A and B are shown apart, each in its own frame.
Chain A
Amino acid sequence: MSTINTENLILDAPTDAKKVLEVENLRVQYDTPRGAVRAADDVSFYLKEKEILGLVGESGCGKTTTAMAILQMVQSPGRIVGGQIRINGRNIVGIPESELRKYRWTELSLIPQGAMNSLNPVIKIKEQMADAIRAHENIKKKDLKPRILKLFNDVGLPERVYNMYPHELSGGMKQRVCIAMSIVLNPSVIIADEPTSALDVVVQRVVAQTILEVKERLGVSMIMIGHDMGLQAQMVDRVAVMYAGRLVEIGPVMKMFKNPTHPYTQLLIEAIPSIKEKKPLKVTEGLTHDLRNTPEGCIYQFRCEHVEDSCCNEPPRMYQVGIDHFVSCRHAAERARSMELLGGYHG
């Protein structure tokens, strides 16, 4: 049973939906005095048209870094040391700044992590909305206001916000402004970095709902970073799980929740609190090694229950285990494969 040839695990033909964003072997590191922090290591995934991809993992695992790399905005001392990022087939890694600006906001927009501080406190909301438009279009002055008000309407903001300053808005309203801002130019991809984590629970749901509505109406693709697995389950089509700078599993959300494949995904899913049953909390906090000296072999070897000698020598590659479903663990892939076979027998 355990000797299935992993090379034959490619089960499914690639799906035909268009891939708006492809990340290939992305590597980002922060150069620190005590060595390079490999915050994104060989990360590959794709985002399909109209899809929402959730990106989860404990804090510090490299989610924001990956998002910033896609936007080509990794902050010093960080830099992209390898890989490609393709938007509608065109690579944007290493292209000149002036070229890049044409992609910014028109193709790729951002709903930032700290909505609280993402608006300039000394500039009116209308100006901050307007300068995104003006940077990319020649718009007539009289067309500006109706266009912005329409966006406010789309995200459930009252018109008076137009003339307000950020400090006059509540957290939820600021986040809505950020959402409205992210769609002013109808981008192909929106990256939302924990768009709701700074808000209280009720507002969280409402804002999440707003994002979903906007996404549905525009048919835009999204990457939704978050650590609330429950919220993710309700919002996204597929989930990507990161651990210590690596992508460990990516797959359709229902499948991942019902049958998590990678041991780390299993741990995350088990850790979701449930009202129906009380269960002992498994410790999931904290990495077990320093991102500066990543071990040889599998990144998860120190915490894995199923670790074998072979795990410590050779890093796993991404094995496909289903439609749009990949896992970076040879053994998990084998187990998934056999489950699939058993599942086949039973119905």
Chain B
Amino acid sequence: MGGLTWNYILKRFSMFLLTFWLGSSLIFIIPRLAPGDPVSAMVVRIVMREGYMENAQEIIESWKERFGLNDPMAVQYVKYLGNVVQFDFGFSLARFPTDAWDIVLPALPWSIGLLSVASVISFIIGNTIGALMGWDKTPRWLKSILPFSLTFTAIPYFMFGLLLIFILAFKLHWLPASGGYGRGVDPGWNWEFIKSIIRHGTLPLLSIIITSSGGWALGMRGLMITANSEDHFLLAQAKGLSPRRVFLRYGVRNAIMPSLTAFALGLGGLVSGSTLVEFIFAYPGTGYTLFQAIQTQDYTVIEAVCNLMILITSGSVFFIDLLYPLLDPRITFKSNK
């Protein structure tokens, strides 16, 4: 094995910290660039609901004071960094006095569950299709039907989701159209609940898998075609290895590397959820939570979701960086030179 060196690990770890800091800072800046502020937004909502609110202006001011929204940006930023380090963002601004984490955490398992299953299945299906499409020894009949599986890639997945809801939920009544589990089902480790989760998850899962495996397939196809014309691939054939072995060890083994990196990069998306899919299927995940937080300019919830996302993304990149030297022995070598 290429082997890990402390030097390498340290370098990668500093990269991880740097990425995390940059990402967090962006998350601080971007919501504050939008006009308005969360307190006014909340007061406006209350006014719209109740029709009237006493001392609205004073309430806004005192809350702003309380949340530190009147402090100079620099002070806010330092406080924010302190929060990031402790990973505590305080109360939700829109649903005071609920803690931001108490809103985000319950949504997390839903998104992670849905998207990790969807990602792994898409990755496997997509890369298999792509590898077969890019291989010159694939049986002709297979090669001619595989491209049809990619036609769905052209459809945005929320459109496809709507189509699935229309056919499978409203017309055929096979599957539920929305939610994470059925009403009246007891959440917990019981078969009824698990069954309900699976039934509710099927449509979102399908719409993600069918529309996103195409991306993997197209990428893998290109990588595989390149791998096919590598000298070592030809030599493996000349050696008389079985086509299966040539395909797996001299083709897929080499072509899969960039896809793996892309996959790791995508892991951060697991916690942020798939906003559109969750929105369409009213799925109780973080994507839906983020959507609501953005609507209400709930800085702290946005910060909680996004920081979690950044942490997972840069963390998984760091992890893959550590894994890569084991998969591709050239990596440590280069960085040592």
Contacts and interface: CB of A to CB of B under 8 A. Distances in A.
A309 interface: no
A120 B238 contact: no
A76 B243 CA distance: 17
A167 B245 CA distance: 22
A272 interface: no
The interface centre, meaning the residue of A71, A118, A121, A122 with most chain B CB atoms within 10 A of its CB, is A122
Nearest to B230: A117
A71 B327 CA distance: 32
A71 B238 contact: yes
Contact of A132 (B239, B242, B250): B239
B111 to A, nearest CB: 34
Interface string A109-129: 110111001111111000000
Interface in B226-246: 229-232, 234-243, 245
Interface stretch (A42-50, A100-108, A276-284, A300-308): A100-108
A115 B254 CA distance: 18
Given A71-B238, A73-B234, A73-B238, A121 B249 contact: no
B329 A165 contact: yes
Contact of A118 (B232, B242, B245, B329): B232
Contact of B241 (A76, A108, A131): A131
B330 interface: yes
The interface centre, meaning the residue of A104, A120, A178 with most chain B CB atoms within 10 A of its CB, is A120
B231 A122 contact: no
Given A112-B231, A117-B231, A117-B232, A105 B330 contact: no
A102 B250 CA distance: 20
B2 interface: yes
Contacts of B249: 120, 123, 131
A168 B240 contact: no
B241 A120 contact: no
B238 A109 contact: yes
B77 interface: no
Contacts of A136: 240
Interface string A173-203: 0000010010000000000000000000000
Given A122-B254, A122-B328, A167 B333 contact: yes
A89 B240 CA distance: 20
A131 B329 contact: no
Interface string A33-74: 000000000000000000000000000000000000001010
Contacts of A114: 231
B11 interface: no
A105 B136 CA distance: 21
Given A118-B232, A121-B330, A131 B239 contact: yes
Interface of B: 2, 136, 229-232, 234-243, 245, 249-250, 253-254, 257, 327-330, 333
Given A104-B240, A108-B238, A118-B231, 5 more contacts: A75-B229, A100-B240, A113-B231, A122-B330, A135-B245
29 contacts: A73-B234, A73-B237, A73-B238, A75-B234, A76-B136, A97-B243, A102-B240, A104-B239, A105-B239, A105-B240, A106-B240, A110-B235, A110-B238, A112-B231, A112-B238, A117-B232, A118-B231, A120-B250, A121-B330, A122-B253, A122-B327, A122-B330, A123-B249, A131-B236, A131-B239, A135-B242, A165-B329, A167-B333, A181-B239
